[in-house]
């Protein structure tokens, strides 16, 4: 089997050497070159034709975001960002996801991470996963600008409205997919929307803030004990499970740190299972792009509980088809649609 060819881009010679050494430990990876800024990276991509690029954000001459933008326009290929966990670093990472980066690895201790070895396995795994990602699914228009005609206009008949709740699970490729879905939902959607996006601590707040700035509905990071409101999307904080509790006719968010489920916290299964316990609600569950099978067990519980419609993202638009594929194979999906139709299906089920 041919090796995955990687170009390593970082302005620090020390970090370039460290990343190169770590990746070279995998027998499946060959580092074919390095670059010290975005401009050099674009030249090397054209010359070396790598399968995957690892890209630092903060660099002179041309930073990582500008390089990524040009790369996705002229030479679309899988990119894994290396990100610092500062507020600015998190914001830049979320922007990079919208521009088309497949995934990111958080540096443990800032721009020059002497302890980068802590994320060595994660870096190797994410580079290998990125090499198999569906880059064609990534739209070239990743600026987040929504044209008015793309938004869904719906009118809810409040008189006959049964109580509804929407829950969404996603992983690799999810930030971009969530932008496509949440920005199209109508402001007056008659349901709260619960979201689990696999992401480490420190990044989900920036994700929620960016999506909130682009959407008609409100989008926020979920807080423990808050009462859920229609027309609001609640994103599980990185490193925490998100559950829904029913108390005295109202729904509340529960944010907690019980052990990870199949390596995930937040876990889609944990959210879906908690929603399955709601007795007098109709549930709309959505499973989108992501590696693995998180969400399938939760969907099985939802279907057993009744009053559940399940939407899965189609293979043609999923950056990684793992999570939707597992759900489809388990026979717990009602409809499979491409990403651009998911918001429309959610609105239809909520309205119906």
Q: Which residues are catalytic?
A: 171, 198, 294
- Angstrom distance (rounded) from CA 138 to CA 293: 21
Angle between helices 38-48 and 64-74 (to 10 degrees): 30
Q: What are phi and psi of 246, to 5 degrees?
A: -110, 120
Measured distance CA(76)–CA(200) in Å, rounded: 26
- How many other CB atoms sit within 10 Å of the CB of residue 46? 10
Q: Are 50 and 33 in contact (CB under 8 A)?
A: yes
Rounded CA-CA distance 178/157 in Å is 27
Handedness of CA 251, 157, 341, 149 (dihedral sign): negative
Separation of alpha carbons 206 and 92, rounded Å: 9
Q: Is 56 exposed, middle or buried (0-12, 13-18, 19+ CB in 10 A)?
A: buried
Instruction: Tell me how far apart the alpha carbons of residues 107 and 125 are, in angstroms, rounded to a whole number.
Output: 15
Alpha helix segments (H runs only) across 246-313? 268-276, 296-305
Q: How many CB atoms lie within 10 A of CB 17?
A: 13
Distance, in Å, from the CA atom of 7 to the CA atom of 20, rounded to the nearest integer, reads 9
CA of residue 315 relative to chain centroid, distance: 16
The answer to whether 192 and 166 are in contact (CB under 8 A) is: yes
CB 301 within 8 A of CB 275: no
Q: How many secondary structure helices (H) and strands (E) does the chain include?
A: 11, 14
């Amino acid at each position: 089997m041919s090796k995955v060819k990687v170009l390593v881009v970082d302005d620090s010679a020390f970090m370039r050497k460290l990343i190169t050494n770590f990746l070279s430990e995998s027998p499946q990876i060959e580092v074919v070159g390095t670059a010290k800024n975005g401009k050099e990276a674009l030249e090397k991509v054209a010359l070396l034709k790598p399968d995957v690029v690892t890209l630092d954000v903060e660099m002179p001459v041309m930073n990582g975001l500008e390089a990524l933008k040009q790369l996705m326009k002229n030479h679309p290929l899988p990119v894994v960002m290396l990100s610092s966990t500062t507020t600015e670093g998190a914001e830049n990472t979320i922007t990079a996801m919208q521009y088309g980066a497949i995934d990111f690895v958080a540096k443990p201790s800032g721009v020059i991470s002497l302890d980068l070895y802590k994320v060595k396995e994660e870096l190797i795994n994410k580079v290998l996963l990125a090499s198999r990602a569906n880059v064609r699914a990534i739209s070239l228009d990743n600026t987040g600008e929504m044209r008015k005609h793309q938004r869904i206009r719906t009118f809810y008949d409040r008189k006959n409205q049964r109580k509804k709740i929407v829950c969404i699970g996603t992983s690799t490729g999810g930030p971009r997919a969530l932008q496509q879905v949440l920005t199209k939902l109508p402001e007056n959607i008659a349901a709260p929307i619960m979201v689990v996006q696999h992401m480490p601590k420190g990044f989900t707040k920036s994700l929620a803030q960016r999506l909130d700035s682009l959407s008609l509905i409100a989008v926020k990071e979920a807080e423990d004990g808050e009462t859920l409101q229609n027309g609001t999307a609640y994103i599980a904080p990185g490193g925490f499970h998100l559950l829904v509790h029913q108390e005295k006719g109202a729904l509340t968010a529960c944010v907690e740190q019980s052990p990870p489920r199949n390596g995930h916290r937040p876990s889609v299964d944990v959210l879906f299972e908690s929603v399955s316990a709601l007795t007098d609600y109709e549930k709309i569950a959505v499973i989108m792009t992501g590696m693995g099978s998180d969400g399938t067990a939760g969907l099985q519980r939802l279907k057993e509980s009744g009053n559940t419609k399940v939407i899965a993202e189609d293979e043609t638009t999923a950056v990684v088809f793992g999570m939707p594929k597992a759900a489809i194979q388990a026979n717990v999906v009602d409809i499979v649609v491409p990403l651009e139709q998911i918001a429309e299906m959610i609105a239809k089920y909520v309205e119906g």
